Amino acid sequence: MAEIARTVERLCEVSIKDYVNPYDLEWPESLDKAQWFTSPELISLYETPTYERLGEAARKRLSFFEAVNFFSINIHGEKSLIEGLAARLYKKGNDGISSYLHHFLDEENKHMVYFGGFCTRYAGKVYPDKKLVFRREYARGEEDFLFFAKVLIFEEIVDVYNVTMARDERLVEIARRINMLHHRDEARHLVFGRQIVKELFARHSPSWPSEALRGAREYLKNYLVSTWKEYYNPEVYRDAGIEAPYEAREEAFHTESSRAHRRRISEGCTRFLLDNGILDEEPAL
Amino acid sequence: MRTEEEIRQSLRDWIIKTSGKILPEELTDETPIIERRIISSLQVMDLILFLERLSNKAIEVDDLKPGVFQNIDSIYKNFFEGGSIDRP
């Protein structure tokens, strides 16, 4: 806990120093859709036969809806995150981290201002969330551990996309800017996330029955896969004018180059989970 | 146009393939697939997309009633006998 306390203190200082007003962001009145909004290599259909059949204009149009999907995924992820963070604020045992949870909450809300602003201004919609959560019983400390571990997995993947797209000069400026602003805060969230996940696992998992430990590991591996599945959205493909959108999703998800892409993007995250004994085998991505 | 039996069989096939936890002879249209964790909450998104494809109707998660995924019977009644939303 002493290590976390030092990290929390340092992250709070940086959050205060880096404080930004999300309403300062300048939004173009309208956007020319004949531009790149997502790095082509990060488009979910990249290197699939469907993608190969598209001309450049159609690929750029697809890149716009992929950006709307990426921002929509973030909105839904951050909504759940805000709920979970708010529930843990000043909860018994969380005194040492509550000061940082305030920044975390504030920054996640700002991100939704960016993401929601882009989606509603330029697409007129946010793609709906298709996830459902069912209540279940947890071993002692398991629910908190899984909450922060899920947040970490989600944010680690997103951050690789953010870093890549913030640097990609082919992209429309507003798309680059949103990716950059998100990454600036996420870098801190990831430092906090890795420490809290490691600490909660070390504190609670030794007391879990072996079945609970196996279940938690299985759940996280499946969570990683289901997080990736959100990136393959048939509604995106339909909006981009692609015929047979569900078939395109199946094809894209099971293409070997897509698997390699998911493994590459998730590598930092899975390495962390394996090195700390949180996972005991590579997830089948 | 698929018959009711064809739709129910497609649902059974999808559940068996996706779950990997149940044999065909163990799965009836009344087997509680969520309660028995044959399908996990993380697989529900795939189930929703499968149902959209099968019914050619968009599904709004916010409009779903509790228990719609309880078993094959409830899925058939809710998504193929009405209750979901036509794709615009």
Residue B82: pLDDT band (50, 70, 90) is low
> Tokens for A161?
């996309």
Domain spans of chain B? 4-86
CATH of domain B4-86: 1.10.1200.10
- Whether the pLDDT of residue B83 is over 80: the answer is no
The alpha carbon of residue A247 is apart from the nearest alpha carbon of chain B, in Å, by 9
Smallest Cα distance from B67 to chain A, Å: 11
Identify whether A135 is part of a domain: no
Do residue B42 and residue A219 have CB atoms under 8 angstroms apart? yes
For residue A258, the SS3 value is helix
Q: Average pLDDT, stretch A158-164? A: 98
Residue A83 domain boundaries? 2-22+35-129+142-275
* Bridge partners for B85 per DSSP: B58
Rg from Cα positions in chain B: 12
A27 in a structural domain: no
Q: Model-level pTM?
A: 0.93
Please tell me which residue of chain A has the smallest CA distance to B48.
A130
Domain count, chain A: 1
The reply to whether A159 falls in a domain is yes
**Helix or strand or coil: residue A281?**
coil
pLDDT above 90: percentage of residues in chain A: 93
pLDDT per position as a tens digit, A171-207: 999 999 999 999 999 999 999 999 999 999 999 999 9
**Residue of B40, B43, B49 lying closest to A246 (CB–CB):** B49
Partners of B41 on chain A (C-beta within 8 Å) are: 131-134
- Residues paired with B86 in a beta bridge: B57
Residue A284 domain-assigned? no
Residue A136 placed within a domain:
no
In a domain, A28, yes or no: no
What residues contact residue A87 under an 8 Å CB cut-off, 6+ apart? Answer: none
Instruction: Spell out the residues 6+ positions from residue B59 whose beta carbon is closer than 8 angstroms to its own.
Output: A130, B48, B51, B52, B79, B84, B85
φ, ψ dihedrals at A284, nearest 5° = -85, 90
Distance from CA of A88 to the nearest CA of B (A): 23
Q: Would you put residue B44 in left (φ > 0), alpha (ψ -120 to 50) or beta?
A: alpha
pLDDT at position A15, please? 94
Q: Residues 6 or more apart from B82 whose CB is under 8 A from it?
A: none
Widest CA span in chain A: 57
User: What ipTM was predicted for this assembly?
Assistant: 0.84
Q: Is residue A179 part of a domain?
A: yes
CA B58 to chain CA centroid, nearest Å: 14
CA distance B27 to B72: 9
B chain contacts of residue A246, beta-carbon cutoff 8 Å: 49, 52-53
Residue A281 lies in a domain: no
Q: CATH number of the domain that A185 lies in?
A: 1.10.620.20
**B interface toward A at CB cutoff 8 Å?**
34, 40-46, 48-49, 52-53, 59-62, 64, 69
Q: pLDDT tens digits for A68-110?
A: 999 999 999 999 999 999 999 999 888 889 999 999 999 999 9
